[in-house]
């Protein structure tokens, strides 16, 4: 089957184990370029596990094991010679809880560039500004770039983390419940941001909010007990899903 | 699992069924008022229309509230949107029943026209379509809904035939013109009721299957 869209990344027959526990079962999922995909499902179904497979964050867990393949622009990211630092530059990640470093706002955004060996001060300053602009935070922090990031509000910290992820110019942005700790205004800003960012990035977002999934995503994928149950256009998934379990979950009849 | 929201939807459905019962009764009575030249009954249909209208408002408000507060999706979304469409049609059927009752009031004070079996047949068909559409809603039965859609052509045919007959009659007997025009308007109302019942059946298909067969938007 040849997909019509331009597939940026895809998972094929992906199994994932934490020791003996099989957390993902034979997951097959395509991510179209410049598309937003929402991963939904009840707590513990494997959304975060799957998301972390996409930039090999799970490598950090010693007992874990991956079977199957994930391809980025046609290349298996689990192939032996893959440079994981380089991979994570291309596949950036934003976590549920904003986790700025205890450094200045500027240094938080510049961090990724410095890790990647960039030295050019002017270039770094330009990238920092651009990233903060893209994350819709620039106007709020431009006068205090050199004060601590920990002095920002939760919503600002989350946008700072997005700016930090954007600074290294990733191609794919993974977001694990990026708005779960934010108020409606900050949430709306993040959602607006996702709309703007998708012009340049492929975005995969985990969310517990059905409304958020419906608002921000093009494609929705429903996971249950480590399996991908149903995936499709968000509009269809939220008006007439095919699968009974999907229907029960999104309408709150689950369990 | 029946959560709080499911109960509110059930309440909404019950209100629709209540409105449906009033509307069906209005049509039965309007037809009877015409056939039996019963002015009291005709007046009753006219007086009772407010109940249908006020139920429409109630259902509309409840639906809006559920849309805003529960932000439903999938079948929950379809049932609420479907109900909002359905009650607009139901309310119009109530209005058409009032139209029939008003014509019947006028006609009851005039000498009767000769018995018109085609009009009686049209009244039967449109009532049957309304009943079937409402049963289809109650049972979420798309086959029954489809049968209502299929009956619509028959109602159109009967209406055309009634009008033709009455025009011929008017040409022959000019004193009967006024009565004939009122009768034609009754026929038109019955034909509209058949159309509106078809719309209700389409709402049922939308609610159950999520496809819009209105104006052949998409075929099932
Ligand atoms: N480090 C770990 N070691 C062992 N098991 C884990 C680990 N992380 C997650 N799991 C298990 O894997 C399964 C999937 O967890 P995961 O965190 O991917 O779920 P999730 O869908 O993201 O849930 P939530 O919505 O609560 O964040 C769960 O049963 C969880 O207990
Ligand atoms: Mg998680």
Q: Is B43 inside a domain boundary?
A: yes
Distance CA B145, CA B31 (A): 23
Average pLDDT on A187-211 reads 92
Banded model confidence at residue B115, pLDDT cuts 50, 70, 90? confident
pLDDT of A26 strictly over 90? yes
Q: Is B218 inside a domain boundary?
A: no
Angle at A156 (CA atoms; ends A153, A162), nearest 5 degrees: 145
Q: Is A80 on the interface with B (CB under 8 A)?
A: no
Q: Is B42 inside a domain boundary?
A: yes
Of B196, B215, B214, B201, nearest in space to B90 by CA: B196
pLDDT of A1 strictly over 70? no
Q: Which ligand is nearest to the CA of A44?
A: 1
Chain B positions in Cβ-Cβ contact with residue A253 (cut-off 8 Å):
1, 3, 6
pLDDT digits (tens, 9 = 90+) for B54-82: 999 999 999 999 998 888 999 999 999 99
Banded model confidence at residue B137, pLDDT cuts 50, 70, 90? very high
Distance CA B15, CA B183 (A): 33
pLDDT digits (tens, 9 = 90+) for A55-96: 999 998 999 999 999 999 999 999 999 999 999 999 999 988
Check A210 against B71: CB less than 8 A apart.
yes
The CATH number linked to B135 is 1.20.58.220
Check A251 against B78: CB less than 8 A apart.
no
pLDDT of B219 strictly over 60? no
Sheet strand arrangement including A21-32: A21-32, A7-18, A64-72, A75-76
> pLDDT higher for B14 or A180?
B14
Question: Among residues of chain A, what percentage have pLDDT more than 90?
Answer: 82
* DSSP helix, strand, coil percent of chain B (3-state; round to 5): 90, 0, 10
Q: Is B121 inside a domain boundary?
A: yes
* Ligand 1 atom 7: residue of nearest CA: A18
Give backbone dihedrals phi and psi of B162, rounded to 5 degrees, phi first: -60, -50
Q: Is B133 inside a domain boundary?
A: yes
Q: Is B169 inside a domain boundary?
A: yes
pLDDT digits (tens, 9 = 90+) for B176-190: 899 999 999 999 999
User: The pTM is what?
Assistant: 0.83
Per-residue pLDDT, B86? 98
Chain B positions in Cβ-Cβ contact with residue A255 (cut-off 8 Å):
1
Per-residue pLDDT, A152? 95
- Count of alpha carbons within 13 angstroms of residue A80, beta-carbon side: 0
pLDDT digits (tens, 9 = 90+) for A85-128: 999 999 999 988 889 999 999 999 999 999 888 999 999 999 99
Q: Is B216 inside a domain boundary?
A: no
Banded model confidence at residue B1, pLDDT cuts 50, 70, 90? very low
- Tokens 């389409």 — which residue? B202
Q: Is B214 inside a domain boundary?
A: no
Tally of domains in chain B:
1
**Residue B163: domain span:** 2-209
Banded model confidence at residue B215, pLDDT cuts 50, 70, 90? low
Question: Among residues of chain B, what percentage have pLDDT more than 90?
Answer: 85
pLDDT of B2 strictly over 50? yes
């Amino acid at each position: 089957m040849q997909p019509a869209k331009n597939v940026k990344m895809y998972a094929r027959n992906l199994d994932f184990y934490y020791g003996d526990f099989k957390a993902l079962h034979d997951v097959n999922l395509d991510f179209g370029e410049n598309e937003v995909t929402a991963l939904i499902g009840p707590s513990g179904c494997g959304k975060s596990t799957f998301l972390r497979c996409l930039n090999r964050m799970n490598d950090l867990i010693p007992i874990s094991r991956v079977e199957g393949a994930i391809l980025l622009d046609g290349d298996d990211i689990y192939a032996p010679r893959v440079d994981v630092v380089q991979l994570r530059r291309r596949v950036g990640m934003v976590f549920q809880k904003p986790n700025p470093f205890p450094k200045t706002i500027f240094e938080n955004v510049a961090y990724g560039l410095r890790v990647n060996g960039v030295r050019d001060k002017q270039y770094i300053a330009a990238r920092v500004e651009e990233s903060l602009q893209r994350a819709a935070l620039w106007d709020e922090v431009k006068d205090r770039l050199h004060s601590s990031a920990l002095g920002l509000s939760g919503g600002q910290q989350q946008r700072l983390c997005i700016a930090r992820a954007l600074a290294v110019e990733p191609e794919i942005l993974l977001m694990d419940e990026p708005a779960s700790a934010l108020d409606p205004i900050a949430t709306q800003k993040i959602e607006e941001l996702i709309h703007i960012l998708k012009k340049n990035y492929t975005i995969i977002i985990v969310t517990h909010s059905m409304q958020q999934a419906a608002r921000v995503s093009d494609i929705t994928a429903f996971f249950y007990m480590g399996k991908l149950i149903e995936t499709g256009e968000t509009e269809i998934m939220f008006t007439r899903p095919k699968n009974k379990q999907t229907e029960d979950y999104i309408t709150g009849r689950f369990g | 699992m029946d959560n709080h929201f499911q109960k509110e939807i059930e309440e909404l459905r019950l209100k629709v069924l209540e409105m449906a019962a009033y509307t069906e009764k209005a049509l039965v009575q309007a037809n009877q008022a015409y056939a039996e030249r019963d002015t009291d009954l005709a007046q009753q249909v006219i007086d009772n229309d407010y109940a249908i209208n006020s139920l429409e408002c109630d259902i509309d408000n409840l639906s809006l509230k559920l849309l805003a507060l529960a932000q439903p999706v999938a079948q929950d979304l379809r049932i609420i949107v479907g109900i909002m469409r359905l009650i607009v049609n139901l309310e119009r059927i109530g209005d058409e029943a009032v139209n029939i009752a008003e014509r019947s009031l006028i006609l009851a004070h005039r000498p009767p026209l000769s018995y018109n079996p085609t009009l009686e047949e049209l009244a039967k068909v449109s009532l049957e379509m309304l009943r079937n559409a409402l049963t289809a809603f109650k049972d979420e039965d798309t086959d029954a809904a489809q049968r209502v859609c299929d009956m619509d052509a028959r109602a159109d045919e009967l209406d055309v035939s009634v009008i033709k007959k009455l025009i011929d009659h008017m040409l022959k007997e000019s004193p009967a013109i006024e009565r004939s025009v009122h009768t034609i308007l009754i026929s038109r109302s019955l034909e509209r009721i058949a159309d509106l019942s078809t719309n209700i059946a389409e709402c049922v298909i939308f609610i159950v299957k999520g496809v819009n067969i209105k104006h052949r938007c998409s075929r099932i």
